[in-house]
Amino acid sequence: MAVHITGVAVALDWMADLLETEGANPFRIGAYPRAGAAIENKLDNVGGMIADGRPLDELPGISENLVGKIEEIVRTAKMKPLDEVETRYVARFRDRRREAFSHLLSLICLVGLSLLWTTFGRADDITVRVGYFPNITHAQALVARNFERRGRDWFAPWLGARVKLEWYAYNAGPSAMEAIFAESLDLSYVGPNPAINAYARSGGEEIRILAGAVEGGSALVVRPDLILTKPADFRGKRIGTPQFGNTQDVAARAWLIAGGLRITQAGGDAQVLPTANPDQLALFKTRQLDAVWTVEPWVSRLELEAGGKVLVEQKDAVTTLLVSRAGFLAQHRDIVSRFVNAHRELTTWINQHPDEAQRMIGDELKADFRIVMSAELFARAWMRMSLTSSISSSQLQAFVTSAQQVGFLHSMPDLSRLVDPQ
């Protein structure tokens, strides 16, 4: 069985990150990324080495006690020690929430509600941290940011003078959800799969979906020189996605599996390779990727700049949601509700002023991220998108099914708390 090196390295890096949160021995932590780097820097295919019976510890940087773990990832797409440390990570997250609540109750008893009010300030004297991506599919965030650049704060009339917004850009959903877990973000525009995965990882304790944002705008683009018309044609091919576990990554894996291919997190009949959006275009042009499942404006750029052909277009699928950290929502429900109302009004404004909104998004992408989009590119990308603030349970259930199908979700908490009624 051939397994692409990227999947193994991702698992090893994730193991190191989790061990670091436990304060593990630095030498133990460092062994995992060193092994991942050794694998990535070697031309040999890990799956091929195992199939040939060649010991992996012959590669510099791979210790003998990691060989069995790497082989387990290759053969089963799992690693028992990783599952165990992930379980401990979620348990610690719950314990920290309980401990923080206990400390808060003690503080109230000791100093009284009046001192607590003085210490923490008025309830509406707060900074709200909002995540978003430099993609046209995060239109509401980009338009709001451009309004600010022009001297108008769209959200201020709704939130009031004492509530300030701070905006933080991320490349893809899993990174934004890690920021939510670390309590570095309060709200975020994000794809449905990372939000659902974060909800499941926390046992339903974290992440609340507040509203829809964008539907459509994502597609599978294939090279023009290849005959790729159905999942079976992708056997042995390489498909790029924006990030491991993000919405397009799950969609690609689910589509291939539904077509009869065996796809694991570390390899399978086809290689699904998480690749940052800017790198996808270059790799597609040089034929190092055979196809890409991504979002606008990259779908249209692959068409216009590399001759790519759209094979699968997700016209009605949810692409972007607005979500909240559960603790922030519980503490500041009124502020969140006002933000959601402003988001809905902004969505309506964009739909009523599409030409101006496109110019604003283009200005913002250029000013903040040095991304330049031609008028033709914008028009093509915009046609694939639909802005809406609504979301349905059936849409979310479809993503849950896909995530379970590809192995990202083994169990799912009760979905009744996932969507907060706004």
Q: Is the dihedral of CA 21, 23, 26, 27 positive or negative?
A: negative
Question: Which pLDDT belongs to residue 81?
Answer: 78
List Cα–Cα distances, 324 to 195, 210, 254, in angstroms.
10, 7, 27
CA distance 124 to 246: 34
Q: Is the dihedral of CA 401, 403, 409, 413 positive or negative?
A: negative
Does one domain contain both 207 and 222? no
**What is the value of pTM for the model shown?**
0.66
CA distance 56 to 297: 41
Residue 135 within a domain: yes
Overall domain count for the chain: 3
Could you tell me the two tokens for 288? 């190092």
**Region 375-397: what's the mean pLDDT?**
90
CA distance 356 to 45: 50
Residue 111 within a domain: no
The residue with greater pLDDT, 196 or 329, is 329
CB atoms within 10 A of CB 372: 9
Q: Is the dihedral of CA 149, 319, 338, 188 positive or negative?
A: negative
Question: Which pLDDT belongs to residue 64?
Answer: 66
Could you tell me the two tokens for 174? 């899993």
Question: Which pLDDT belongs to residue 104?
Answer: 47
Does one domain contain both 206 and 261? no
- Contact between residue 236 and residue 327 where contact means Cβ atoms under 8 Å apart: no
Question: Which pLDDT belongs to residue 2?
Answer: 39
Share of the chain above pLDDT 70, in %: 77
18-74 pLDDT, tens digit per residue, is 777 777 666 566 677 777 666 665 544 555 665 666 666 666 667 666 777 777 776
Question: Which pLDDT belongs to residue 246?
Answer: 82
- Contact between residue 412 and residue 202 where contact means Cβ atoms under 8 Å apart: no
Residue 94 within a domain: no
Q: Is 296 helix (H, G, I), strand (E, B) or coil?
A: coil
**Region 142-161: what's the mean pLDDT?**
95
Backbone dihedral angles phi then psi of residue 353, each to the nearest 5 degrees: -130, 60
Q: What is the 3-state secondary structure (H, E, C) of 262-306?
A: CEECCEECCEEEECCHHHHHHHHHCCCCCEEEEECCHHHHHHHHH
CA distance 407 to 395: 19
Point out the domain boundary residue: 253, 286, 314: 314
Does one domain contain both 213 and 229? no
Residue 422 within a domain: no
Question: Which pLDDT belongs to residue 221?
Answer: 98
Question: Which pLDDT belongs to residue 38?
Answer: 67
Does one domain contain both 27 and 159? no
**Region 134-159: what's the mean pLDDT?**
95
pLDDT band at 99 (very low <50, low <70, confident <90, very high): low
Does one domain contain both 210 and 254? no
Q: Which domain holds residue 18?
A: 5-84
Could you tell me the two tokens for 44? 């040999």
218-256 pLDDT, tens digit per residue, is 999 999 999 999 999 999 999 999 888 888 898 999 999
Which of 371, 414, 373, 378 lies closest to 396 in space, CA to CA? 414
Does the pLDDT value for residue 187 go beyond 70?
A: yes
Point out the domain boundary residue: 84, 111, 145: 84
Does one domain contain both 324 and 410? yes
- Contact between residue 412 and residue 397 where contact means Cβ atoms under 8 Å apart: no
Residue 272 within a domain: yes
Does one domain contain both 412 and 324? yes
Does one domain contain both 248 and 380? no
Does the pLDDT value for residue 299 go beyond 50?
A: yes
CATH code of residue 230: 3.40.190.10
CA distance 102 to 96: 10
DSSP β-bridge partners for residue 163:
126
Q: Is 72 helix (H, G, I), strand (E, B) or coil?
A: helix
Does one domain contain both 177 and 325? yes
Backbone dihedral angles phi then psi of residue 123, each to the nearest 5 degrees: -60, -30
Question: Which pLDDT belongs to residue 116?
Answer: 42
Does one domain contain both 329 and 206? yes
CA distance 334 to 316: 31
The counts of H helices and E strands in the chain are: 17, 13
Could you tell me the two tokens for 110? 């000791």
pLDDT band at 330 (very low <50, low <70, confident <90, very high): very high
Does one domain contain both 322 and 213? yes
